[in-house]
């Protein structure tokens, strides 16, 4: 049986661990709230953008000289996966979930004879995928050390994607990230970005009243589309980044909550053990004294 002193030391150490996890949980909760409001603030823009793109895209998509960003390069050979993960650990299975999801997808695509390239956003995902797919990684972007995600960060990432598309480095681009369903549930999701999926393709029924109105364009349709598409790409990346950070903090909050509870349980067990040992010691000492007195 462990000595009293060793037990005391263990109890103190578990107690300070509990303090740390509790503090981390509080911090994660505060950051989660901020990330959530930010994600909500970005929603109106994305919705309006989608509506605008729907009316524009439909009229241009059919023409042969439609922009590459809208219709892709026509082939389906090289796939680019943009994998968004957290920059830090201690968030339960958050990063591993996206990583595993991406891995399965890469394997599927490669089994189908496609070439896969990976652009990793976030340090943890990059580290995870490097172990198996080091040769496929074309770039790594880390947002570590930033207090909050800015739209300019998203623009930078989408700028890289556009540059790669123009250089003909891939045909299809898919965004892989953790969709924020609720604080306790984040779902790894794949979202195709290039070629652009127009909203009509998702639900073709019921032409929304007024949405199909005949618009005038100033300047030309093509010019507007050329400016709108990169922006649309950036906003999709931005949303993924925001959902990722909200999900990350949600997951971290949960993990830390569990850790705090486990530490509490452990402290209880150790304290019980400590008290038993202490009593056993007292009893033993008493027996020794009594039997000593009787012997006299």
Partner 1 sequence: MATFQLELVSPEKLLLSRAVEMAVLPAAEGEMGVLPGHAPMIITLRSGVIAVTENGQVTERLFVAGGFAEVTPGRCTVLADEATPLAQLSKAAAETRVREAEAAYTAAAMDTPEKREAIMTRLLTARAMVLAAEAA
In the complex with partner 1, the residue whose CB is nearer, 161 or 228, is 228
Closest approach of Cβ 52 to partner 1, in Å? 5
Q: Which residues bind partner 1 (CB under 8 A)?
A: 38, 41-42, 44-45, 48-49, 51-52, 55-56, 151, 154, 210, 213-219, 223-224, 227-228, 231, 234-235, 238
Closest approach of Cβ 278 to partner 1, in Å? 60
Closest approach of Cβ 262 to partner 1, in Å? 39
185-194 and 172-182 as β-strands: parallel, antiparallel, unpaired?
antiparallel
Closest approach of Cβ 56 to partner 1, in Å? 7
Question: Cβ-count burial of 106 within 10 angstroms (0-12 exposed, 13-18 middle, 19+ buried)?
Answer: buried
In the complex with partner 1, the residue whose CB is nearer, 17 or 231, is 231
Closest approach of Cβ 167 to partner 1, in Å? 12
DSSP 42: H
Q: Is the peptide bond before 195 cis (omega within 30 degrees of 0)?
A: yes
In the complex with partner 1, the residue whose CB is nearer, 238 or 249, is 238
Which residue shows structure tokens 């040992």? 277
Which residue shows structure tokens 């009787």? 294
DSSP 136: G
Q: How far apart are CA 210 and CA 216, in angstroms?
A: 14
Closest approach of Cβ 185 to partner 1, in Å? 26
In the complex with partner 1, the residue whose CB is nearer, 45 or 274, is 45
Question: Cβ-count burial of 27 within 10 angstroms (0-12 exposed, 13-18 middle, 19+ buried)?
Answer: middle
Q: Which of 169, 195, 179, 213 is nearest to 55 (CA)?
A: 213
DSSP 134: G
In the complex with partner 1, the residue whose CB is nearer, 126 or 234, is 234
In the complex with partner 1, the residue whose CB is nearer, 49 or 190, is 49
In this structure, are residues 190 and 105 in contact, taking their beta carbons and an 8 Å threshold?
Answer: yes
Q: Which of 84, 108, 54, 256 is nearest to 180 (CA)?
A: 84
In the complex with partner 1, the residue whose CB is nearer, 167 or 296, is 167
In this structure, are residues 54 and 197 in contact, taking their beta carbons and an 8 Å threshold?
Answer: no
- Burial string for 33-47 (b: 16+ CB within 10 Å, else e) reads eebbebbeebeeeee
Closest approach of Cβ 241 to partner 1, in Å? 11
């Amino acid at each position: 049986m462990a000595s009293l002193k060793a037990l005391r030391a263990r109890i103190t150490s578990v107690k300070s661990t509990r303090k740390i996890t509790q503090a981390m949980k509080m911090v994660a909760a505060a950051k989660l709230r901020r990330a959530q409001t930010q994600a909500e603030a970005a929603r109106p823009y994305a919705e309006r953008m989608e509506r605008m793109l729907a009316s524009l895209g439909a009229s241009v998509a059919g023409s042969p000289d439609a922009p590459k960003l809208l219709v892709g390069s026509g082939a389906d050979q090289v796939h680019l996966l943009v994998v968004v993960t957290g920059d830090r650990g201690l968030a339960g299975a958050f990063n591993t979930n996206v990583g595993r999801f991406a891995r399965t997808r890469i394997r599927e695509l490669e089994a189908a004879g496609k070439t896969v390239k990976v652009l990793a956003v976030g340090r943890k995902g990059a580290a995870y995928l490097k172990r198996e797919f080091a040769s496929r990684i074309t770039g790594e972007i880390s947002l570590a050390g930033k207090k909050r995600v800015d739209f300019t960060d998203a623009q930078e990432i989408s700028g890289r994607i556009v540059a790669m598309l123009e250089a003909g480095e891939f045909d299809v681009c898919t965004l892989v990230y953790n969709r924020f369903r609720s604080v306790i549930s984040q779902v790894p999701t794949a979202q195709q970005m290039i070629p652009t999926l127009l909203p009509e393709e998702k639900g073709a029924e019921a032409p929304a009243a007024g949405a199909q109105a005949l618009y005038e364009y100033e300047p030309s349709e093509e010019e507007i589309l050329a400016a709108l598409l990169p922006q649309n790409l950036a906003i999709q990346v931005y949303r993924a980044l925001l959902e990722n950070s909200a999900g990350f903090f949600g997951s971290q909050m949960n993990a830390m909550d569990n850790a705090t509870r486990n530490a509490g349980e452990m402290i209880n067990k150790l304290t019980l053990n400590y008290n038993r040992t202490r009593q056993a010691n007292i009893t033993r000492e008493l027996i020794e004294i009594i039997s000593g007195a009787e012997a006299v």
